[in-house]
Amino acid sequence: MSALFDTSKMDPRRLNRRRFLFFSGIFVLTSLALWVMADLLWADGITVIEGAILALFGILFAHISIGFCTAMTGFYVINRGGDSCRIINSVDWTKEPKLASTAIILPVFNEDVSRVFEGLRVIFRSVEETGKLEHFDFFILSDSNQPNQWIQEEVAWVELCKQVKGFGKIFYRKRRQSINKKAGNVADFLRRWGKNYRYMIVLDADSIMTGKALVQLVAMMEANPKAGIIQTAPRIVRGESLYTRIQSFANGLYSPLFLAGLNYWQQMEGNYWGHNAIIRMKPFIDHCALPDLPGSEPFGGRILSHDFVEAALMRRAGWSVWLVPEIETTYEEGPPTLIDSAKRDRRWCQGNMQHTWLLTTRGFKPANRFHLGMGVMAYVSSPLWMLFLILSTIHVFALVTATTHLPRFQEYTNLFGYEIKIPQALFLFAFTMLLLFLPKVVSLISALGNTETADKFGGRARMVLSAVLETATSTLLAPINMVFNSKFVIFTLLGQGVGWITQRRDAGDEGTDWREAILTHWTMTAFGLIWGVSAFILSPMFFWWLSPVIAGLVLSIPLSIFLSKSSIGRQAREVGLFLAPEETQPCHELRRLEKNLSECYQHLQPIEPLRNDYGILQAVLDPYVNAMHVSILRRRRPSEESREWFMQLRERVLREGPSKLTTKEKMALLLDAESMIWLHEELWRQPSDSLAEWWRLAMRQYNVLTTTPVTALYR
């Protein structure tokens, strides 16, 4: 067996050499492209517009070069047999791993109750099968602000604990006030229970991790006492729509190169992505409290994208942050449609734009500044790209108006005094396309060379066809995302903040309807038509150079609808397109999750008149649910004024039914233990003709619904 990698003895000179080679590659590629671009623009000097075009080109090409160099570095690492300097090599896996007390936390906000608790059931069982369950506790941290969600979560928690014997191992906490979103939810957990555990593993509501993966993370932490965070690289799974299936395929095929390259140069100065990662409790509590940014939202106030910042704070305190892409059994789910993906990006955009405040923070490591800068550029690059294309169009118009043709576009490329028989514009276009698509080609070739890997993607022929179709689709989606992100950046700069909404995990069979697609995409469609016609009138040659961008914008409405269809996604799966290893060879945990969910969603749901307030029905009508709910509420002594208000509210809900109350009033009742006890007693005590018709219907349906598994009542 090869020697173990001691992360505490990483040679700084070795790391500096790696980074020098990596960033030198970016510099050389960007300089080469800038040389050609400057020569292309240089006729009788460079005008203001040409200077702006050249500056924008340099920034955007450097951004492209970073991705290219990351992938090519990864290709080099993988093909030489892997990198010896990986944190997974710091543990002797032939021996029994050392573990310590670990909290697995699952923050939720108005999520599908069945999916959350069946996912937790799968994780719990998987840890149990490793024989290491005594080292792990599980926490559902709820910020749900809908009455139905809250009660369903409580009931599902109790039922899950009964079924898996999880009392004392699985805990549920509902915050009264959802302050500072997910970061505040986690901070509240740390204040209450953080000192009881050495580590915590943070999951998202859609996360799945196998017991083996969780044990490996804890073992690596125990073997590396200076490790603060270890981040896994989750794979996208359970996609039904064509959009999600394409994302899952691309993630499985292309990510190994990028992850290997990323780990090669960042080493112990990695990043944190907010979930599917393990964190050392004490330094996180001591050093990673998030400051409020100066000013108000959207740039100031609470930090939204907390994960990058927490990684930087951990490094500033002297603790290492590692990426471990070798753990493959770690999963998440992606947005089901293009529009849902854009809604998520709208939230991420504001959070990442806030990071501009932190780029010059005292004590941050250069690698962390780079991570923060790349997070900002992930969104700022879109308006820069759009501005570059618009200025290029204006420049072409000026040339056509002045000379009626484009002479310099046809001149040959001159590099270091050597003339290359390729027109400059064509050379730049080809060079850019090389950097964009060569990593995909290399990933595909690497997979084709391994029969076992190719089989995981459905075989060589289907994998090649899927890769070609994915490339074509991503080319069309790029300008659509450019417009989306440009709007998001502009909205943020104009001071428009973003609310905290639940991410949709499933768009259903119908996907995006025509009305939603037209309302979302009509502006970019109109913009694309006007831009395309103008470019064609100016110069047919320039139009064809711009055609991939124009095509994506013009086709945005039908493309968004087509990609959102689950029926088309299932047809693609049946013919073997866009298959991913997690689908062709799923682990036991993913198979178990699918089986459990398919059984849950077949059960009877409440009838329509009761569905919107079924949580109130359970909490008030059902003796078991009422007692359980009251037992976990914090008892408070209300003032006389509050007591009178609650009494009026109780009378109203019995006399008029819960549908007449606002969500705020329902939540207030559910939070008041005295009201819940009084309502339960009065509901069963009063004659039926004194109750609202809603309650009479609820009592007639009660015996039917109490036989239904509680986690199956809502999807």
On whether residue 654 sits in a domain, the answer given is yes
Q: What are phi and psi of 597, to 5 degrees?
A: -70, -40
365/639 Cα distance (integer angstroms):
52
CA-only gyration radius of the chain, Å: 28
The whole-number pLDDT of residue 397 equals 81
Q: What is the per-residue pLDDT for 715?
A: 40
Distance CA 543, CA 27 (A): 31
Q: Is residue 624 assigned to a domain?
A: yes
3-state secondary structure of 460: helix
Please give the Cα distance from 96 to 83 (Å, whole number): 24
Q: Which of 85-89, 176-180, 567-571 has the lowest mean pLDDT?
A: 176-180
CA distances from 378 to 345, 350, 374, 593 (A): 10, 12, 6, 33
Please write the tens of the pLDDT for every residue from 633-646.
Answer: 887 777 888 888 99
pTM above 0.75, yes or no: yes
Find the mean pLDDT for residues 392-420. Answer: 62
Residue holding tokens 């022929």? 461
Residue 639 lies in a domain: yes
Task: Pick the closest to residue 307 from 270, 256, 266, 345 (CA basis).
Answer: 270
Distance CA 256, CA 273 (A): 17
Contacts of 608 (CB under 8 A, 6+ apart): none
Question: In this structure, are residues 172 and 193 in contact, taking their beta carbons and an 8 Å threshold?
Answer: no
Element (H, E) at 202: strand 199-202
β pairing state of 330-332 and 235-236: parallel
Residue 180, φ and ψ in degrees, nearest 5? 65, 30
Residue 337 included in any domain: no
The answer on pLDDT for 404 being more than 80 is no
Retrieve residue 387's tokens: 């501005």
In a domain, 678, yes or no: yes
**Three-state DSSP class for 103?**
strand
Contact 213, 327 (CB under 8 A): yes
pLDDT at position 713 is 42
Identity of the amino acid at 247: Q
Structure-model confidence comparison of residues 281 and 398, the more confident one = 281
Domain assignment present for residue 79? The answer is no
Is residue 133 within 8 Å of residue 166, measured between CB atoms? no
Least reliable range by pLDDT among 113-122, 331-340, 507-516:
507-516
Q: Is pLDDT above 80 for 425?
A: no
Amino acid at the residue 393: T
Please give the average per-residue pLDDT across 45-73, as a whole number.
93
pLDDT digits (tens, 9 = 90+) for 93-103: 999 999 999 99
Helix (H, G, I), strand (E, B) or coil at 99: coil
601, 603, 611, 604: which is closest to 698 by C-alpha?
Answer: 611
Among 126-130, 168-172, 184-188, whose mean pLDDT is lowest?
Answer: 184-188
Give per-residue pLDDT as tens, 315-326. Answer: 999 999 999 999
Comparing 292-306, 497-511, 573-587, which segment has the lowest mean pLDDT? 497-511
Angle between helix axes 366-403 and 540-554 (nearest 10 degrees) is 130
Which phi and psi (to 5°) does residue 413 adopt?
-75, 135
Distance between CA atoms of 445 and 460, rounded to whole angstroms? 10
Question: b/e string for 360-396 if b means 16 or more Cβ within 10 A?
Answer: ebeebeebbbbbbebbbbebbbbbbbbebbebbbebb
pLDDT band, residue 504 (cuts 50/70/90):
low
Question: What is residue 498's predicted lDDT score, i.e. its pLDDT?
Answer: 62
User: In this model, does residue 35 exceed pLDDT 60?
Assistant: yes
Say how many domains are in the chain. Answer: 1
Q: Which residue has the higher pLDDT, 604 or 428?
A: 428
Range of the domain at 648: 608-712
Q: What is the pLDDT of residues 214-250, one digit of tens each?
A: 999 999 999 999 999 999 999 999 989 999 999 999 9
DSSP readout, 218-244? Answer: HHHHHH-TTEEEEEE-PEE----SHHH
CA distance 313 to 418: 49
The token duo for 571 is: 């047809």
Per-residue pLDDT, averaged over 329-350, amounts to: 92
pLDDT at 712 (0 to 100): 45
Selected residue with higher pLDDT from 400 and 26: 26
161 vs 398, more confident: 161
**Percentage of the chain lying above the pLDDT 90 cut:** 68
Residue 509: pLDDT band with limits 50, 70, 90: low
Domain presence at residue 522: no
Which residues on neighbouring strands pair with residue 199, listed in sequence order?
102, 280
Report residue 496's pLDDT band, with 50, 70 and 90 as the boundaries: confident
* pLDDT reported for residue 215: 97
Query: Helix axis angle, 147-164 relative to 113-130, nearest 10°?
Result: 20
> Taking Cα atoms as reference points, which of 70, 84, 17 lies closest to residue 326?
84
The reported pLDDT for the residue numbered 411 is 54
Element (H, E) at 330: strand 330-332
pLDDT of 439: 96
pLDDT bucket at 710, cuts 50 / 70 / 90: very low
What's the pLDDT at 500?
56
Instruction: Please give the order of strands across the beta sheet that includes 320-324.
Output: 170-174, 136-142, 102-108, 199-202, 277-280, 227-232, 320-324
- Name the range with the highest mean pLDDT among 12-16, 59-63, 296-300, 447-451: 59-63
Least Cα distance to 114 among 159, 147, 172, 145 occurs for: 159
Q: Is 636 within a domain? A: yes
pLDDT, residue 303, reads 86
The whole-number pLDDT of residue 502 equals 63
Distance between CA 579 and CA 573 in Å, rounded?
A: 7
pLDDT over threshold 70, residue 270: yes
**Separation between Cα atoms, residue 630 and residue 670, nearest integer Å:** 9
Closest residue by Cα to residue 158 from 601, 624, 612, 599: 624
Using the predicted structure, report yes or no on whether residue 2 has a pLDDT greater than 70. Answer: no
CB-based contacts of 88, cutoff 8 Å, min separation 6: 216, 220, 324, 326, 327
**Across the chain, what does the average pLDDT equal?**
89
